[in-house]
């Protein structure tokens, strides 16, 4: 038996984990015979029920990073990071009724087809390339951090865990297509929620005084608030998280292929809207569950007398509790939930990366290729993209988790900046045109490069220094504001520059104003 400290992982837990890993293989084989066309491989032939698609959206958004990071935040700090999630339904509850039909009516597969129709090829290239780079870096991070956590809890080798998990994810996506991915998301989503609820229940019943004591200790130690509330953009404050959450919601639901592609798998526009609402409103409670789990852990270790290892990091507290305090069988369940969270986001990423490569690149240069060849190319991309992500994760084992998170933030900031701003220009401004947007993209790239390089340090100790030091002109605001500013820069510069060029034509079906006019006309026709 492999151990974490003096606590062995029981054979029953191994059986539960192995049984869970067998479920995805079975489901992907079950759906394998249907993956003959692009429509089936990428859109599940547009026949999935709303509740399935909705739970899949939730499972895709709630990754294993949430499983580990949110309890760590709830333990060490307060609930301020949950504000990002709370802004999602507030931002999207009305927009979703326009957004989902828009994509279902104007694109075939890629979310970035919209940007080309609205602003030309360069806008499509910029946005799809941003998706590629951001999600490649994300996949490598998820593989690495999950494998690292799992190996520390079970004793398995980190690199071996990365490769085993990676091969399973590649197999699922390759054989079962998006239909297997989405149905597995449902299974994995419920497993994730079950693991969280069971863990929280055990913490509550193990804490002297139960839920009342947890709530009291949390309140006394300022664990339940969302502050600081002052108007400060340098530190992590409520206003920073509100702004970050608004643009996160717009970018994720309005421009991210992993979400947009799910709109296309539903049976109808109304079913797709319903699925989106299910996804939005089910995700926030799951985030809150894992945040409160960390708060409960803080109260437990404060009241119970149990002692944590010296120097333990906050995001390692939940794994320690899992391995030292959960009963046999429940450990296997919770570890399976951790793996489920990883798989449910990674298989989605792989399928969507293949969709983007095929639609935005391959078919542009090989428009006359047969559908059977396009399916083959898509599956080759799944394999190559999966192997690349595995290799990235393997490389991360050499530089450690701190270095990984810094790299990911830099890549994401540089290459995905401004996409939400461009999307807002596309749907809300009838004056915006491609020339203005291209100038906005250039301004956004310059701004983001400056901000990243004047706020990112390299080296250690006394030799630590900024990549570029501009003195008083360094970017000093909180890193979460970088994404907010990049969207605003592209939006403001793109809109202002558009006034120097001829207005775009034939864009009514691509804008919110045009959609509203269509609705009014339909209502008028019904009355007459």
Q: Report the C-alpha gap between 118 and 44 in whole angstroms.
A: 27
Instruction: Examine the domain organization and report whether 376 and 423 are in the same domain.
Output: no
Number of domains present in the structure of the chain: 2
Q: Which secondary-structure segment (H or E) carries 466?
A: strand 465-466
What mean pLDDT value characterizes the chain? 88
Residue 260: CATH number of its domain: 1.20.1730.10
Tell me how far apart the terminal alpha carbons of the chain are, to the nearest angstrom: 76
Domain span at residue 480 reads: 417-528
Residue 8: pLDDT band with limits 50, 70, 90: low
- Looking at the predicted structure, is the pLDDT value of residue 400 above 80? no
- Looking at the predicted structure, is the pLDDT value of residue 149 above 50? yes
Instruction: Examine the domain organization and report whether 231 and 90 are in the same domain.
Output: yes
- Which among 42, 118, 126 is positioned nearest to 486, based on CA atoms? 126
Instruction: Examine the domain organization and report whether 442 and 391 are in the same domain.
Output: no
Domain boundary (379, 413, 447) is at 413
Positive or negative, the Cα torsion across 56, 57, 60, 62? negative
Q: Identify how many contiguous H helices and E strands the chain contains and give both numbers.
A: 22, 4
Instruction: Examine the domain organization and report whether 131 and 41 are in the same domain.
Output: yes
Instruction: Examine the domain organization and report whether 378 and 237 are in the same domain.
Output: yes
Distance of alpha carbon 508 from the chain centroid: 31
Quick one: pLDDT at residue 351?
A: 94
Instruction: Examine the domain organization and report whether 81 and 168 are in the same domain.
Output: yes
- For residue 238, the tally of other CB atoms under 10 A from its CB is 17
Question: pLDDT tens digit string along 277-333?
Answer: 999 899 999 999 999 999 999 999 999 989 898 888 888 899 899 988 999 999 999
Instruction: Examine the domain organization and report whether 216 and 345 are in the same domain.
Output: yes
3-state secondary structure of 79: coil
Domain boundary (413, 440, 458) is at 413
Q: Report the C-alpha gap between 278 and 193 in whole angstroms.
A: 15
Quick one: pLDDT at residue 141?
A: 83
Tokens of 67: 């499983």
Q: Which residues of 429-439 are buried (b: 16+ CB within 10 A; e: fewer)?
A: beebbbbbbbb
- For residue 418, the tally of other CB atoms under 10 A from its CB is 31
Using CB atoms within 10 Å of the CB of residue 501, give its burial: 0 to 12 exposed, 13 to 18 middle, 19+ buried. middle
Instruction: Examine the domain organization and report whether 117 and 217 are in the same domain.
Output: yes
Quick one: pLDDT at residue 162?
A: 94
Prediction pTM value? 0.88
Domain boundary (395, 413, 431) is at 413
Residue 458: pLDDT band with limits 50, 70, 90: confident
Instruction: Examine the domain organization and report whether 408 and 472 are in the same domain.
Output: no
- Which among 490, 391, 403 is positioned nearest to 447, based on CA atoms? 490
Label the pairing between strands 465-466 and 457-458: antiparallel
Which range (85-89, 259-263, 414-418) has the least confidence?
A: 414-418
Instruction: Examine the domain organization and report whether 407 and 502 are in the same domain.
Output: no
Residues 80, 83, 89: CA angle, nearest 5 degrees: 170
Contacts of 128 (CB under 8 A, 6+ apart): 110, 112, 356, 360, 361
Question: pLDDT tens digit string along 253-263?
Answer: 889 999 999 99
Instruction: Examine the domain organization and report whether 429 and 387 are in the same domain.
Output: no
Q: Report the C-alpha gap between 354 and 42 in whole angstroms.
A: 9
3-state secondary structure of 4: strand
Contacts of 35 (CB under 8 A, 6+ apart): 41, 175, 176, 177, 179, 375
Look-up of token digits 């067998």: 22
- Which among 377, 327, 324, 325 is positioned nearest to 355, based on CA atoms? 377
Instruction: Examine the domain organization and report whether 146 and 241 are in the same domain.
Output: yes
Tokens of 128: 């799809």
Quick one: pLDDT at residue 465?
A: 84
């Amino acid at each position: 038996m492999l151990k974490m400290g003096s606590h062995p992982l029981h054979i029953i837990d191994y059986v539960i984990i192995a049984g869970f890993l067998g479920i995805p293989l079975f489901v992907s084989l079950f759906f394998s015979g249907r993956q003959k066309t692009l429509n089936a491989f990428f859109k599940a032939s547009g026949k999935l029920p709303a509740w399935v698609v909705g739970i899949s959206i939730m499972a895709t958004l709630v990754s294993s990073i949430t499983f580990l990071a949110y309890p760590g935040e709830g333990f060490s700090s307060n609930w301020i990071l949950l504000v990002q999630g709370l802004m999602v339904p507030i931002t999207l509850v009305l927009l979703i009724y326009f957004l989902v039909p828009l994509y279902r009516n104007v694109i075939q597969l890629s979310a970035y087809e919209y940007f080309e129709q609205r602003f030309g090829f360069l806008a499509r290239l910029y946005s799809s390339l941003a998706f590629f780079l951001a999600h490649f870096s994300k996949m490598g991070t998820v593989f690495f951090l999950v494998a690292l956590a799992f190996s520390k809890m079970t004793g398995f080798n980190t690199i071996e865990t990365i490769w085993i998990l990676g091969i399973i994810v590649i197999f699922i996506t390759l054989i079962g297509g998006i239909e297997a991915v989405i149905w597995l998301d449902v299974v994995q989503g419920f497993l994730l929620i079950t693991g969280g609820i069971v863990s929280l229940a055990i913490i509550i019943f193990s804490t002297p005084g139960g839920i009342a004591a947890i709530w009291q200790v949390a309140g006394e130690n300022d664990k339940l608030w969302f502050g600081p509330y002052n108007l400060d953009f340098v530190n992590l404050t409520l206003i920073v998280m509100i702004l970050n959450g608004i643009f996160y919601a717009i970018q994720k639901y309005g421009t991210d292929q992993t979400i947009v592609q799910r709109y296309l798998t539903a049976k109808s526009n109304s079913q797709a809207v319903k699925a989106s609402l299910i996804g939005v409103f089910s995700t926030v409670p799951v985030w809150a569950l894992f945040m409160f789990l960390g708060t409960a852990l803080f109260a437990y270790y404060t009241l119970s007398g149990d002692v944590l290892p010296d120097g333990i990091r906050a995001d390692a507290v939940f794994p320690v509790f899992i391995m030292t305090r959960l009963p046999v069988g429940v450990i296997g369940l919770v570890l399976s939930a951790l793996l489920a969270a990883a798989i449910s986001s990674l298989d989605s990423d792989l399928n969507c990366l293949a969709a983007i490569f095929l639609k935005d690149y391959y078919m542009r240069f090989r428009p006359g290729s047969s559908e059977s060849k396009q399916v083959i190319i898509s599956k080759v991309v799944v394999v190559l993209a999966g192997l690349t992500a595995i290799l990235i994760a393997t490389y991360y084992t050499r530089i450690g988790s701190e270095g990984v998170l810094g790299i990911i933030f830099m890549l994401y900031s540089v290459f995905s900046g401004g996409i939400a701003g461009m999307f807002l220009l596309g749907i809300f401004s009838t004056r915006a045109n491609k020339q203005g947007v291209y100038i906005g993209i250039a301004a956004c790239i310059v701004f983001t490069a400056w901000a990243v390089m004047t706020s990112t340090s390299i080296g250690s100790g006394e030799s630590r220094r900024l990549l570029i030091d501009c003195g008083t002109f360094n970017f000093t605001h909180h890193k979460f504001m970088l994404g907010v500013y990049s969207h605003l820069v592209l939006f403001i510069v793109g809109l202002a520059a558009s006034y120097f060029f001829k207005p775009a034509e034939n864009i009514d079906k691509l804008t919110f104003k045009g959609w509203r006019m269509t609705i009014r006309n339909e209502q008028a026709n019904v009355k007459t």
